[in-house]
Structure 1
Amino acid sequence: MSRPPETLLADFPPAGTPPSANLPSGTPPSGTLAARPPLARGGVTTRLLLILVPLVLLAAAGTAFVAMRTSRAVVERFAVDYGQDLASKQASEIAAITREKIAFVEGLARQVEAMVATGTADRRVVAKYVERTALAHPTLVGFWFLAEPDFMGKDGDFRNGDTVLGLSETGRFAIYYVSDGQGGVKPGEIRPDFYRDEYYVRPAQSRARQAIPPYLYTVLGRPVWMISYTIPVIVDGRLIGVAGTDLSLEQRAEELDARRPLGGNIYMINREGNWTYHPEHALLATKATVGEGPQFQLAPDELAHVLKVEGYEAERLDTGGRRIRRYAVPMTFFPGDNRRMLLFDVPVAGLSAPFAGIGTAIIVAALGAGLLISLVMVAAVRSIVGVPLARVARTIDLLDRGVPVVVSGTERKDEIGGIARALDRFRGTLAERDRLQAQVEERTTALERMLAGVGAAKDAIVLFDPGYTVLYANPAAISLLGAPDAEAVVGRQWLELLTPETVALAEEGRLRRRDDLLATGYAHTVNEKWESIWGRTMEVYETTLSLRPNGDIVLVLRDVSAARRVAREREELQRQLLQQDKMEAIGRLAGGVAHDFNNLLGAMLGYVEFLLDDLDPQDKAHSYVARINAVGKRAKELVGQILTFARSDKGELQAVSPVAVLEEARGILRSAVPATTEMTFQIAGSVPNVRANPTQLVQVLMNLVINAHDARRGEGGRIRIRLFPGPAPADARVLEGRWQEHEALPFDKSRPHVVLEVEDEGHGMPMEVMTRLFEPFFTTKGKGRGTGLGMPVVYGIVRAHGGGMTVLSAEGEGTLLRVTLPVGGPGAVAAPLLAPATHKTTPRRRLRILVVDDAAEMGDMLLEGLSRRGHEVAICETPAEALEVFEENPLAFDAVVSDQTMPGMTGMALIALLKTRRPDLPCVLYTGYSERADEKAVLAAGADAFFLKPVVVERLAAKVEALCAVRPSAPPSPGV
């Protein structure tokens, strides 16, 4: 039956109570627990080990005894194998030494075979080769080559001649070099009947290499026992001769005397039973003695193996009575060689010495294994029995002291597992008490943390009961209300803390919040104009209400006035950015249209000039053409305004005094405005220079003044033009709210700048017109009174100069347009505002001119105009065609006139290519519109002159003629 938590808690002492206070009477305190005998410290474990360890050690001793009995046979087997390996090693090493010497003879044989096969056999060369080889190997007794008759040159040529090259008796070629005993070599004596001796006959007849058994031969007057190794020299199946080397048995014996492994002796014997090596040099080349007993060198059964060249092992006693083991190993010096054996005699005691410690090692290993097994058993018994019992005892001790611990071993199925499960059930009872106590502490800590977080929040957080009485308010709420402390807020109705005006404004939203709160448990609103009874206000505020399960309500109040202002400013910036993008797009469209229109207008005005030249001024048609010319020039001005708006460049900038520009423009402005309109100029005493284009500044003034004049009411009015250093003071009419202000082109007011203002007393405009004032083709002047391009041109020029534009206006009260230009540049400069008139002149010489333009009407007009001045003109419609014509004869033309915008290549690129071939070629570029082509860029790219469309033919021709006048004329070219 379950019990309530209160009852369970009653069974446990409060926190901090010593464990002994909760024990039944008669139970000793935990401090006396150490007097209790340990449950498992040596009792069971010790008894098991006292039985098992002696048994293991006894088994290890028996194993060692048996191993000792068998170790002798193991040692004997190891010794036999060891001796066999030593014998094989000695045989291999000695054979390798001999094979190295045989290789010298094989090299000589191969050399002679190659010489005979190629027809270059020469006894002198072979003799020199034998001498050099013998000299390089002074340890050899001799090195020789014996030839068949008439090989290596005819015998008759050498008979009775040089004995080194041929024997006087036979004429055979025989060469033999022997060591002179002093590190050099000298020719040795050769018997004339050498071809009958065994060292020549055996290899000559067998046609195979041979090892000649020991024989006695006189070398330098001394008989020497030697062994020869011979190789027959055969070419195309014919025996040419025999090459060989001689090894002294005594010299080889001296080389082998140092080989005494394990204190034994080595011998070499051939299949005839002759000693080819013996430690007693007097026995070299003698027959081995055969018989039973140590006084004989070979036993009869050994001799049988030697004659067959078969390996064997034998044990015998030496003359001193020692046991000697003999290993016989066949020795091979070259393929097919099977004539000798190596005998290796070694004392049996010497063979067994390296393995003498095997028995001791076996005993030590057996005892070590027994000891290791004992240690493993000790660890196993301790792990299986001792450690679990010690862990149970330690767990009981910890539980008795009130320390929380996890009981291990409950999964075991033996008695130790039963004890562990009983302890675990007891531990669960204690853990439940500790869990309840920890839960109370955890919830208390969580509540403290929550209150700390709410108190640190920047938003105002208020807790109400269902009747909206304040139960709690965090410090941010106290600060937002402006209350002196929390006591002035807690316990009061929320609406009592707000002004009546705030309560009235929020009444409608309050009812909606109540419905949302009852329906979903959540409500959110944003309101304006909030004020507490302590005088704190918010322009815009956000409220969030949450309904708790017990009916309480949580209010989160946030001041979002600053965020609302930031959002409005962002919206205004986005609107300005969209407006700027739209104006740039319209500008590019207007520039493209103006470019195409310029081609048509240029051609038309050119032909009109031709008609004016050709017609009699008294002719009525002349007046008609003059009117067409006037209208065309007005169209030219209109296109110029469009291009000014569309172009993003500032033209050529220079240090300009705005006062000088304004003074120069007074007369032009005065003539543009009727006398009925009063125009006043106000200039501050010291206005700094600006970096600008003076012609474009005059255009800005003209457009602003004409726009102000068109906005007048009636026939009169007044226009005020002011120029002063910035910043501009705040306008009182805007501050009072009577006028509105629109910053059409933002400008950083912290930069030094100059302010130009044009103000009228006209009709004024609302904000929706102010925001569209600088849009291309937008106008309020009515049909036929405006093109809608004047103000966009002003906008484009000011923007290109890095300035700003601001409009201030109110309907019925006039408009003020303010232009700000950044300060920069020394001096006071005013460029001439009117271009000089063009006078017709007669060219000094006839020029050959190449015109490149993809517009046929423009090209035809230039062809006509330049031809009328007496020049030869060729027309190309594409840059590719022009390059092809030019490549045919680069000297065919005196000058090139090109349009900028053409298919496949720009005029600037074309001029650059032409200049690479003829740097002195005068080139003129003209364009109707290009974002990348202004006069500065064109001249920097290599052109010599630049014109804007529509082009006046007279001016273009005069410029070309002037350029060609300073350059020598190109030689005439056929066909041009």
Structure 2
Amino acid sequence: MSLFSANVHGKIVAGELNLGSLQSYIANLSQIQPGIVTFITDAFGTVIAHPDQIVVEQQTNLGHLAPISQGIEEHAGFIGIHRVQGAWYLFNAAKVPSSAWVIFSSSAAGRQLVPLGVALGIFMFLLLFLLIAAVWLLNRKLGQDVSRPLESFIQAVNHLEKGTLVQVDSGTGRTFVELGVLRQRFTEMAEAIVRREQSLRESEEKFRRLIENLGKEYFFYQRDVDEVFIYLSPSIEAMLGYAPRELLGRHNFGGIITPGLISERARESSMRTLEGQESQAHEIEVRHKDGSIKLLEIVEVPVRDFQGSIIGLDGIARDITEQKKANEERLGMERQLLHSQKLESLGVLAGGIAHDFNNLLAAILGNLELALHRSEPNSPLHARILQAFKAGQRAAELTRQMLAYSGKGQFLVQEIDLSDLVRENIAMLQAVMAKTVTLNLQLAPDLPFIMADAGQIQQVTLNLITNASEAMGEHPGTMTLVTGVIDCNAQDLVLSRTQDKPRPGRYVFLEVRDSGCGMDEQTSQRLFDPFFSTKFTGRGLGMAAVLGIVQSHRGAIFVESEPGKGSMFRVLFPAVDGITASGAPHGVLNNEPDPSGAVGAVQPPPGSGLILVVDDEPMVRELCVEVLRFLGYQTLQAVNGEQAVQLFCEHAHEVRGVILDLTMPKMNGVVALQEMRKIRPDVHVVLCSGYNEQESIRRYLAEATTSFLKKPFSLKQLQAELEKMLA
């Protein structure tokens, strides 16, 4: 028996419970519900009622079991599945109101879960069916709205790689709106790519046509960072003879670039470009496949990747061989022109100085010659005057060479046999040669005539021989003089050292060869410059005079020389067509001051008649007057052409002859001569000048009443001209 009490609505209710009846009730429950064990414990886990009577009688305490202790503490609800005595059980607990008892129920988990497993299996089957159906529906939906558009995207990308554009299927567009947006954006992008690639292909095609049709003056190339060729345009074959495949893979024009400073600079320029520095055009020399040398102008720019790193070089090469050659020829012509202008200016200057100096020398030498004639031959004064006279003649020789260089030194042009002229002056020529030099003459007979001033041709020969003799010095050697005739074309004459190249035709030549020291190129280029000399005692006018004389005779001069191998000079003079010199007269040097013949040689016979002296230089005019008076003539003086014509008009029937200077102010000598001939055609005139006025007075010199006297002239020469004129 068990007593209990409870507070019900504020009232204490007490009762008595028959535990035996409770025990029977619990045992009956186990029979009604097989597999379910129901038992009651107190708050300490001691069994109060249990289907097994023994457990109750022994007052077994189950509080140490986890589900029991959990049920006592929580008092209600499903406690969970617990393992008891090796088996799994489901436990539930509920607290008996108004008491400390707890009712527990437990059942074997396997027995209870079988229906649940069956239900769960059915559920899983249904769930799997629904899942399969959902997957099928989803797959169908995705196939329509995702897979098909994606396949269309893939096809579009594949076509886009080939450069064609196709439309993208976006599906139904009702579920995945984003695919429609993606389709639109992809289509826009694809159209832009196609347009860009089309433009790129067109640009590449234009570039390809440009590169492949650069012509033989250009070729394009690409090199990597190791300077190895990775592309060469086909035009390189036309320029250098190599097919592109022959040079691909080569390093920096390897095998065809010529070594030297130019190539080293090109290498440095390429390295600077690869380092990202500013590129500049540079030149390289390469060898053509046929062995010739080509000069290329190279322009290179760096090639960069998307990150900005330099990955190679693009370059273009231009053949500038001919351009360089043309530039060098142009510069050479410009230098030659400047040199010619300089020489021309020097010639004008030298001619002007020589002309003025000749007027002074005419007065100096004339007065000295008069003083010699009026002094005692054995007196010390006579010897001093003679020395001064000889010095004046040397000065006259110097001015003669200056006039020869300026081209104004011709005075007596006549038909000359060049071989006879050389032969007749051989003694004088040998006098200027060193004793150790052997002279070898090879003079051609029956040469055509040349029209020349014999004195100047003699000076050319003398200067050339002097130059050759000095080149051999005191060493034994051979000098060869050759004359002959040669036909020259324009190509032959272009090498002439004269400023104006003569016309093609037949020429008579004089050639002087020596076995001396020879000349280098620099000396040869300056050989004919006035006042240039390699000799300590030289004045530098000898070869300049040769050039001037040859130019004034419309000839040519050629020079061949090499250090240590001697020199060869060949001068050419135009031949007179159809005339040979066999048995013909020839010219020799005359009309030159001769101190041996001038001093003491003049025995003036008593002259008679009136001589008109016309000269703007007072000293020259007064000297002529004094000389004429010394020779016994009467004189009239005029300072210019106008005064001379006036005096001649007044004394036309009295004047026996006229000494007329050609260069004067107001009216020059030629005009004055013409006016005098109008008044009296038979008047005898001696024309005087320090210049070459040959062209302007040629027709007058053909007349018997006209002669020419070059300043400075000697007393003997003046006397001879007067006697010839008045005979």
Alignment TM-score > 0.5, same fold: yes
After TM superposition, the structure 1 = structure 2 runs for residues 856-895 of structure 1, keeping only pairs within 5 Å, are 856-886=618-648, 890-891=652-653, 893-895=655-657
Conserved 8 A contact 1:462-1:477: no
1: CA distance between counterparts of 2:439 and 2:257? 56
Conserved 8 A contact 1:862-1:953: no
Q: Which residue is equivalent to 2:340?
A: 580
Q: Is residue 2:362 matched to residue 1:602?
A: yes
Larger of the two Rg values belongs to structure: 2
Q: Which residue is equivalent to 2:209?
A: 452
Aligned with residue 718 of structure 2, among 956, 962, 967: 956
After TM superposition, the structure 1 = structure 2 runs for residues 600-679 of structure 1, keeping only pairs within 5 Å, are 600-648=360-408, 656-673=416-433, 675-679=435-439
Conserved 8 A contact 1:700-1:797: yes
After TM superposition, the structure 1 = structure 2 runs for residues 463-474 of structure 1, keeping only pairs within 5 Å, are 463-474=222-233
Task: Please tell me the residue identity of whatever aligns with 2:526.
Answer: R
SS of residue matched to 2:663: coil
1: CA distance between counterparts of 2:257 and 2:525? 40
Conserved 8 A contact 1:760-1:815: yes
Q: Which residue is equivalent to 1:738?
A: none
Compute the TM-score of the two structures, normalised by the length of structure 1: 0.48
SS of residue matched to 1:826: strand
Conserved 8 A contact 1:727-1:755: no
Task: Please tell me the residue identity of whatever aligns with 2:211.
Answer: V
Q: Which residue is equivalent to 1:848?
A: 610
Question: What residue ranges of structure 2 are gaps of 5+ in the alignment?
Answer: 1-151, 170-187, 306-310, 489-494, 592-596
Cα gap change, 1:749/1:447 in structure 2, threshold over 3 Å: closer, same or farther?
farther
After TM superposition, the structure 1 = structure 2 runs for residues 217-228 of structure 1, keeping only pairs within 5 Å, are none
Cα gap change, 1:446/1:715 in structure 2, threshold over 3 Å: closer, same or farther?
closer
2: CA distance between counterparts of 1:797 and 1:568? 30
> What fraction of aligned residue pairs are identical, expressed as a percent?
27
Q: Which residue is equivalent to 1:707?
A: 467
Task: Please tell me the residue identity of whatever aligns with 1:771.
Answer: Q
2: CA distance between counterparts of 1:710 and 1:446? 73
After TM superposition, the structure 1 = structure 2 runs for residues 528-607 of structure 1, keeping only pairs within 5 Å, are 528=285, 530-531=286-287, 538-548=293-303, 550=305, 551=311, 553-607=313-367
Conserved 8 A contact 1:912-1:942: no
Q: Which residue is equivalent to 2:498?
A: 745
Task: Please tell me the residue identity of whatever aligns with 2:578.
Answer: P
Per-residue deviation, 1:705? 0.9
2: CA distance between counterparts of 1:634 and 1:787? 13
SS of residue matched to 2:373: helix
Task: Please tell me the residue identity of whatever aligns with 1:766.
Answer: D
Conserved 8 A contact 1:654-1:825: no
SS of residue matched to 2:281: strand
SS of residue matched to 1:522: coil
Q: Is residue 2:513 matched to residue 1:759?
A: yes
SS of residue matched to 1:542: strand
Q: C-alpha offsets along residues 656-690 of structure 1, whole Å, 9 cap, x if unaligned?
A: 44333333332332344354432111346886655
Per-residue deviation, 1:793? 1.1
Q: Which residue is equivalent to 1:156?
A: none
Conserved 8 A contact 1:922-1:964: yes
1: CA distance between counterparts of 2:610 and 2:260? 92
Per-residue deviation, 1:704? 0.9
Q: Which residue is equivalent to 1:769?
A: 523
Per-residue deviation, 1:453? 1.9
2: CA distance between counterparts of 1:725 and 1:889? 54
SS of residue matched to 2:472: coil
SS of residue matched to 1:864: helix
2: CA distance between counterparts of 1:705 and 1:639? 20
Q: Is residue 2:682 matched to residue 1:923?
A: no
Cα gap change, 1:541/1:763 in structure 2, threshold over 3 Å: closer, same or farther?
same
Compute the TM-score of the two structures, normalised by the length of structure 2: 0.62
2: CA distance between counterparts of 1:883 and 1:475? 84
Cα gap change, 1:566/1:686 in structure 2, threshold over 3 Å: closer, same or farther?
farther
Q: C-alpha offsets along residues 849-887 of structure 1, whole Å, 9 cap, x if unaligned?
A: 221212211111111111122222122223343344445
Cα gap change, 1:581/1:847 in structure 2, threshold over 3 Å: closer, same or farther?
same
1: CA distance between counterparts of 2:708 and 2:547? 26
Q: Which residue is equivalent to 1:341?
A: none
Pairs aligned (count) = 532
Q: Is residue 2:578 matched to residue 1:819?
A: no
1: CA distance between counterparts of 2:261 and 2:640? 79
1: CA distance between counterparts of 2:292 and 2:437? 52
Per-residue deviation, 1:900? 1.8
2: CA distance between counterparts of 1:566 and 1:500? 23
Task: Please tell me the residue identity of whatever aligns with 1:922.
Answer: H
SS of residue matched to 2:364: helix
Higher strand fraction (1 or 2):
2
1: CA distance between counterparts of 2:384 and 2:251? 89
Question: What residue ranges of structure 1 are gaps of 5+ in the alignment?
Answer: 1-5, 23-430, 729-741, 966-976
SS of residue matched to 1:514: helix
Q: C-alpha offsets along residues 225-280 of structure 1, whole Å, 9 cap, x if unaligned?
A: xxxxxxxxxxxxxxxxxxxxxxxxxxxxxxxxxxxxxxxxxxxxxxxxxxxxxxxx
Q: Which residue is equivalent to 2:282?
A: 525
Q: Which residue is equivalent to 1:401?
A: none
Conserved 8 A contact 1:647-1:931: no
Task: Please tell me the residue identity of whatever aligns with 2:545.
Answer: V
2: CA distance between counterparts of 1:875 and 1:691? 36
Per-residue deviation, 1:654? 5.3
Per-residue deviation, 1:949? 0.5
Q: Is residue 2:549 matched to residue 1:797?
A: yes
Cα gap change, 1:826/1:850 in structure 2, threshold over 3 Å: closer, same or farther?
same
Aligned with residue 809 of structure 1, among 553, 561, 564: 561
2: CA distance between counterparts of 1:755 and 1:886? 47
Cα root mean square deviation, aligned: 4.5
2: CA distance between counterparts of 1:912 and 1:460? 73
Conserved 8 A contact 2:472-2:515: yes
Task: Please tell me the residue identity of whatever aligns with 2:457.
Answer: L
1: CA distance between counterparts of 2:341 and 2:257? 48
Conserved 8 A contact 2:555-2:572: yes
Cα gap change, 1:514/1:570 in structure 2, threshold over 3 Å: closer, same or farther?
same
Task: Please tell me the residue identity of whatever aligns with 1:514.
Answer: M
Q: C-alpha offsets along residues 528-575 of structure 1, whole Å, 9 cap, x if unaligned?
A: 3x248x776534322211234545532212333333333333333333
SS of residue matched to 1:643: helix
Q: Which residue is equivalent to 1:477?
A: 236
Q: Which residue is equivalent to 2:139?
A: none
Cα gap change, 1:727/1:570 in structure 2, threshold over 3 Å: closer, same or farther?
farther
2: CA distance between counterparts of 1:847 and 1:578? 54
Q: Which residue is equivalent to 2:538?
A: 786
2: CA distance between counterparts of 1:889 and 1:435? 111
Aligned with residue 896 of structure 1, among 630, 635, 658: 658
Conserved 8 A contact 2:641-2:671: no
